[in-house]
Structures are given as structure tokens and as C-alpha cells.
Chain A
Amino acid sequence: MFILKYILRNLFRHRLRSILTVVGVAVAVLAFGLLRTLVGLWYSGAEHASDTRLVTRNAISLVFPLPISYLERIRGVSGVTTVSYGSWFGAYYKEPKNFFANYAIEPKGYMELYPEFILSPKEKNDFLLDRKGCIVGERLARTYGWKVGDLITLKGTIYPGQWEFVLRGIYHGKEKATEERILLFHWNYLNETMRQTVPRRADQVGYFIVGVKKPELAPDVALAIDSLFKNSLAETLTETEKAFHMSFVSMTEAIMIAIQIVSYMVIAIIMVVAANTMAMTARERIGEYATLKTLGFKGGHLAGLIFGESVAISFLGGVLGVVATFPAASWIETELAQFFPYFSVSSETLLLELLAALSVGVVSGIFPTWRGATIRIADGLKRIG
């Protein structure tokens, strides 16, 4: 009881110093949590990917197209249920900063292959029937205030010009992780325009999406598709959607590892700073500790006092950091939505944040505690006056 009261009073002794340390720990813990979440999200795209969908793309690189004529031959491969296709369109809305994913796709097969995009039957039908129609995810619609029936004009980058679409439907994701910041429109619309303006770019697709009957069939189907086009002008590379995502992820893996290292370094840095602060505090109070020992208090009492203060400061910082995580995450979700469709911090991460804060408290408390508990009384008393 007394020790707690004493710790509490000591916390308020150097108010500014305590507050700065608490805030420092909070910021470090917050950064740690957000960086960890970021890394987790990066891999989660691959984790949520379907394993009954294959992606067939140009074997050389994603940026090279495939001829549309491959469609029928892929359909013929046994084990394949549905085939759709699309091209990365890469246009933006009004200004380059309003950038989001948009694809020209074959809608009928696409809607079958992506049951997680939930659209009312009427909107789905309207979309299928309108050659210049498009659909968008709910989040995207909310961002720009789009309503069904709106005319949306995108500015092309890969396919220059002004592109007009009529919004025919707004889908919502089946799960939280489902991407809701996409615009999809008819590949035919793109292709017809290309035929008239740049014929050499017509009849090409960026990728085929291939549905397979069972996940177990996926490897064989992938092999069968790729062997169909061996030694042709555009060889293909077919992989599961998951592998496809992972190929993105692996491109940036080094960065992710660096971010992970940074997240631990942030904690290490605050550990050093907090340890220095605690050491300074304990040094100032050496005379006081010696006095307490003179009165008969033992090393254990003093250890509780010093260690308790160190852990209390860091724990306060940790709690503050955890609490700040929620508004920070929701800010990221709204302000940086083009990078993070959702940014939810897992309870595991919150727990790790607290653990990180506690370890800061423990580590920074060790040295001052040891010093305070083992100080020779006669030496400590000389520090007064």
C-alpha cells in the first residue's frame, strides 16, 4: 500500500519528465503496433486469396499482354469451370491523386468467379446489359459520393483519353478483407475503342482468371494451361491467386522485413531512452534510498519502489499507446484508403503493444533497481547536502 502511494507521488515529482517518458513509450508502442499491422496486411492479401482461382498471365512479365484467342483453348482444359479475363486499366478520377484499382473485365464470368463481390440481382443485370456500364465497391462509392446512375469520367493513362461510364451497381464485400475500392467495366468497351483507335492494341488481355473444380486440381490445370502455349509467341505463367499475390509480396519482401526490423528498433530506442531517464531519476534519489535503508528498509523494498515506478511509467505509456491505436487505425483507413482498404489492428497486436511497453519498463528498471537496492548506505548518505 505504502509502496504504491510512494510510487504514485514519485511519478508526479518531475511531472514533465514523467509525462515525456509516458508519451515517448506511447508513441513507440503506437508505431510498433501500426508497423506490425501494416506488415500483417501486406501478407493478408495472399492469405485471403481463393485457391480455386488461377491467374494466367504472360510468362515474361505482368506488363505484357496475352491474345484473347487463348480463351477458348483455356476453356477446353479439363478441370476448368469458368474462364474470365481482364486488363489493368490504370485510369484516375479527375486528378492523379484520386487513384484506385480499375479493370476492364469480361463481366459474366468475372461475377461467377468472384462471389465475394455481392451485388443485387437487378444491379448485376443492369451492369451486364450496359456496354458502358461499370460497378464499384462500396468504399470507393462512398469516397467520391457516387450513386447508381451517375456518369463517371475517368482519365486514362495506359489507354489515353476521357473514358465515360455509367454506374450500374455498387457491390459490397462478403468479408472485411474483400477489396471494396475497385472499379470494373466491360472489356468489350475498351477493346472496341482500341480497334477503332489503336488496332495493334486490340484483342489483348492482361490476364485470364480460371476457375477450377477443386483446389486439388489447381496445380495440374496450371501445368496443362502453360503447356498449351509452350513455344508460342506469348508463353503463359499460370499460378493460384495466392501464388500470384505472393509474387507481388515477394517483390517487396525486403521492404517488409525492413519495416519489421524498424518496428523492433523503435521499441529498442525507447528502451534506451527510458532506461536513461530511470537511471537519472534513481541517481537523484540515491540519498533518499540510503535514508530509507538507514531506517531499516531492505533491498527488496527499494527494488519494489524503483522497479515499480519504471514499470508504472511504461505501462501507462503502453495503455496510452494501445488506446491511441484505435483512432490512428481508423484515420489510416479513411485517409490512406487507397493503400489500405481496411486497417484493423488485431487483438494479438494490441497485446504485443502492451508486452512491448512492459518490457520497456522491466529493462529500463533493471539497472536503477540494482543500483538502488545495493547502494552502500554510508556512500548514499554522502550524496545529500
Chain B
Amino acid sequence: MAEASEPIVRIRNLSKAYRRGAQIIPVLTGINFDIARGEFVALMGPSGSGKSTLLNLIAGIDSADEGSIQVADVEITTLGESDLASWRAGSVGFIFQFYNLIPVLTAFENVELPLLLTHLNRRERREHVEAVLDVVGLADRMDHYPSQLSGGQQQRVAIARAIVTDPEILVADEPTGDLDRVSAEEILQLMDRLVREFGKTVVMVTHDPRAAEKAHIIRHLEKGELSVT
């Protein structure tokens, strides 16, 4: 299948190092990595191995030192900050470990956020938001604030926010890291459904082998290099 269709993510010779004063800490060294459309990929590896760094690079919220990253045929390493922001708004959905909902906004308003950057009018935005909240099973919690929701529910709101602009690719950094077993299972099932039913491509960083099992492909990152299991 990977050969049949063009990969949606195409990473070539990607390197990234952090500088701490005079010290240079190489994190990624010459990574090559393709992800096919509709794939569910789990990224594993020890703490500090650079999983989040790689994910951030794919999602266009960090900049590489060297190499190329193409996402749906867009070379994102050469985009300027403003273009990159616009690209992110339409092309990637983010799911964070700590949900990152805005506490002063309701579930509805949080999900609506990415749509404020589009040309949709109020009524269209409402339709979109209600539709995705329905997908994550929280249509009845629209007016609740994050503090009034459980961790699992908050993460589902965050997933609704990630898919509301209908991006092809979703990135998730330890999306179940802060949840109990039952909630984690629900979140994983939801992500699985997004892949199967809605054809999304998901890249998920996780420590949890049970979570990784849900993925089609597991890649290990160690000492700056990727390996297949």
C-alpha cells in the first residue's frame, strides 16, 4: 500500500541539534522517513530521544537545521513564519498530552478557534463545530468549560479542535499520557476511527506499548536515528 500511493509525509536527511552555550546537542541526525496517506504511525523511543522534536518538525512548529520535509507535496522547511502559520491552520491537526484547551473558552469556542482563521461565516462555523463534537461524542457538552470536563472529555474536545478544519494529517504527542486506562482506550479508539472512517493520517508519539499496538506501524527513535520494528 505504501508503494501504491504517494507518501503524505516525506522526510529526507533531516537533522536537528540544540545549542546550549558552546555545547551542541545533536537530536536528529539524517532522518529519512516516509508516511503513507491513511497510515497510523506510532513513534516510540526513550525519553530525550527526540520524538517530540521530530513530531514538531513534521507539524511545522519547529525548524530543522538540515534536510527536507514534504507534507502533501509542500516543502515546509523553506516556508517563512507567516506562511507556515497559515499552512498549519489548514493542513495539520494537533493533539497534545495536556489537551491545551483555552480555559476561558467553552468546548464549543475551543473547537471553533481554528475556524476563526477561515472565511467561514458564523452559521457555517457552528455547523462544523457541532458536527465534529458529534463525532467525538460531546455534542451535549458544548457549553461546558474545560474545568467542567474530565481529562478524557477534554482530550476529545482537543481532538474535535484538531479535526474541525479537516486536515489530512494529525499529530499527537503522548495523547494518552495523562489519562487513566479507560479514557486512554477511548481516545485510541477515536483516533483509530479517524484513520479508518475519515481517512486521516495520524502520527502519534507514545511511551505506552498498549497505545502503540493500535497503530499500523511502530517506529523507534534512538540516538537520533529511526528504526523499524
Chain A residues within 8 Å of B, Cβ to Cβ: 2, 6, 9-10, 12-13, 287-288, 291-299, 376-378, 381, 384-385
Count contacts on B: residues with CB < 8 A to the other chain.
27
| Per-position binary interface string of chain B over residues 98-111, scored 1 when its CB falls under 8 Å from any chain A CB and 0 otherwise | 10101111000000
- Provide the residues of chain B in CB contact with A298, threshold 8 Å: 82, 85
Contact of B114 among A10, A293, A296, A378 (CB under 8 A): A296
B158: nearest chain-A partner, CB-CB: A291
B100 and A384 contacting across the interface, CB-CB below 8 Å? yes
The docked-state distance in angstroms from the alpha carbon of A384 to that of B154 is 15
Q: Which residues of B contact A381 (CB under 8 A)?
A: 61, 96, 100
B36: chain A residues at CB < 8 Å are: none
Q: Are B100 and A9 in contact (CB under 8 A)?
A: no
Query: When chains A and B are docked, how far (Å) is the Cα of A2 from the Cα of B102?
Result: 13
Q: Which residues of B contact A13 (CB under 8 A)?
A: 103-104
Report chain B residues within 8 Å CB of A376: 62
For residue B32, CB closer than 8 A to chain A, the reply is no
Q: If A287-B100, A295-B89, A296-B88 touch, does A378 touch B116 (CB 8 Å cutoff)? A: no
The reply to whether B88 and A291 form a contact with Cβ atoms under 8 Å apart is: no
**Can you name 17 A-B residue pairings with CB atoms under 8 Å?**
A10-B104, A12-B104, A13-B103, A13-B104, A287-B100, A293-B61, A294-B88, A296-B85, A296-B88, A296-B90, A297-B117, A376-B62, A377-B62, A378-B61, A381-B96, A384-B98, A385-B98
Whether B117 lies near A9 (C-beta < 8 A) is: no
For A287, the chain B residues whose CB sits under 8 A away are 100
Q: Is B94 an interface residue (CB 8 A)?
A: yes
Interface residue B78 (Cβ < 8 Å from any Cβ of A)? no
Please report the C-alpha to C-alpha distance between residue A9 and residue B103 in the assembled complex, in whole angstroms.
10
Measured CB to CB, the closest approach of chain B to A50, in angstroms, equals 62
Q: Which residues of A contact B178 (CB under 8 A)?
A: 385
Chain A residues with CB under 8 Å of B94's CB are: 294-295
Instruction: Tell me the bound Cα distance from A296 to B102 in angstroms.
Output: 15
Q: Bound state CA distance, A296 and B82, in angstroms?
A: 9
**B183 contacts A by Cβ under 8 Å:** no
A267 to B: closest C-beta gap in Å: 30
Q: A6, A293, A296 — which one has the most chain B CB atoms within 10 A of its CB?
A: A296
Which 7 interchain pairs have the tightest Cβ spacing?
Answer: A296-B89, A9-B104, A377-B61, A291-B100, A378-B62, A385-B98, A296-B88
- Please report the C-alpha to C-alpha distance between residue A287 and residue B100 in the assembled complex, in whole angstroms: 8
B97 in the interface, Cβ–Cβ < 8 Å? yes
Determine the distance from Cα of A6 to Cα of B85 in the docked complex, in whole angstroms: 20
Who on chain B is nearest to A298 by CB? B85
B31 interfacial by beta-carbon distance below 8 Å:
no
**How far, in angstroms, from A296 to B90 measured CA to CA in the complex?**
8
- A6, B104: Cβ atoms under 8 Å? yes
> Are B56 and A378 touching (Cβ within 8 A)?
yes
Is B113 part of the binding interface, using a Cβ–Cβ cutoff of 8 Å?
yes
A12 CA to B104 CA in the complex, in Å? Answer: 9
Q: How far is the CA of A385 from the CA of B62 in the complex (A)?
A: 20
CA A220 to CA B69, docked complex, whole Å: 92
Type the 1/0 row for B111-151, where 1 means its CB is closer than 8 Å to any CB of A. 00110110000000000000000000000000000000000
Closest to A377 in B: B61
Q: Could you say which residues of chain B place their CB within 8 Å of the CB of A10?
A: 104
Q: Determine whether the beta carbon of B97 is less than 8 Å from that of A385.
A: yes
Q: Contact: A295 with B113, CB < 8 Å?
A: yes
Contact A2 B116 (CB under 8 A): yes
**Closest CB in chain A relative to B118 CB, distance in Å:** 10
Report the separation of the CA atoms of residues A381 and B86 in the bound assembly, to the nearest whole angstrom: 19
